[in-house]
Structure 1
Amino acid sequence: MAVYIEEIGKLVSDGLSELAESVESGKTPGNPVSETHFLSAWVTKSIKQQRYDHSVAKTLLAWQQQARSMGKNAQLKQQFVQICNTLTGLNPAEALTAAVTAAQIQALYQALTAAGWLVTTEFEVNRKVTHHTNGQASLVVCAKQYREAIAESGDVVKPLSLYLRGDAKAVIDTAYQHGLLLFKVTDYKSKVKYHGEYVVYPCNHGTHLPELPTQAAQ
């Protein structure tokens, strides 16, 4: 089966290319409403033709539902552009095949500490716990899970959970600056009370859409 993150990258690139061709040929007017209508029909056609690997089927169905329920406000083009920019800007030379490393994780810790976050990595998180921070932004990582996720080579070889309480967008942007994509499990309820859970995957190969950095919006 195809790797989700690579398949979704191909999908949005195809969609944007075919939209551009349709606009250039004059078949589709170059305005937001018409572009949204084109991509809505394109998504539905892709589902019917089973054009892409099954790994992205749920994402396509979600976009189809958005288009049906939100119409021109679905902003499919903006979503496609942001996903495309995120993936191509991550590591253009090696696409999505480069390993994620402990050095990148540690760099994220250091950046957040410098930004005033309380970074806690020395304890195990094997049950529901309460982490008191006195209102300070907080990142918690299970020490045992971290050890098991990092190979002797320093590569991340298993998914690693990051528990966040604070400005998640800031963490997503900071992680992206260090070559990391974060995949949301929950933005509030997790094993660490009042913290959301986000996951770093080996090679950034998550199984659903990552949280998209703000710098990739345009």
Structure 2
Amino acid sequence: MMRLRPAVPALILLLASFASTQAAESTYTDLDLDKCETLAQGSPDEPGGDWISLKCGGYRNYPVYFDEGDLRQSVYFGHLSQKILDEANETFGPFNHVGKKVEWRIGANGKPYAAILRFFIENVDENSGMPTKASEGQVLVISRVGQPEDKTGCVVGYVDALANPDANILARGIADEMAAGFRCGRDKPDYHGVKGPKAGEPAYVFPTQD
């Protein structure tokens, strides 16, 4: 069953996004995991050893950090504290994988303050018991980009890319209105707009911030 999050009506976010475009713009970078630097990796010969942490190129001097474990992925952006890199893991309950294009929201000062990345949710088909293309969900994940002065980044919110016809516009509105003031480790991300049956439930792990 689809539900509408009443606290943040889509129309308000669309209007806010339009207004914010006067001072914000988008730029795009590729996320090629084969070109990333391996920071740490488990051993497949050990129980629970199927995991990897990568540092990838991003926008200018703002890197992308990628983690995968148990066929679930999480991504963080920008300058981050070691505590966040070691302990944070915001992903989804079902198996999932990320897309290959990052949208960065750039402020008037030329710095990225938010990033948007598409996640593919590998839902299990009721008949086959296996993930299929027909059962796959797509979710736009909006993240706060860590800055050199705060080293804090996290997931800000989610938009079901299949259930919302203007999903990209809605995601940009959330990025522009929420990312800068989002308190990582205190505020918890949620879905915005319509959430359909293929959107996965978030799995949230984030260290408490001082």
Higher helix share: 1
Q: If you compute each CA radius of gyration, which structure gives the higher value, 1 or 2? A: 1
Higher strand share: 2
TM-score by length of 1: 0.25
TM-score by length of 2: 0.26
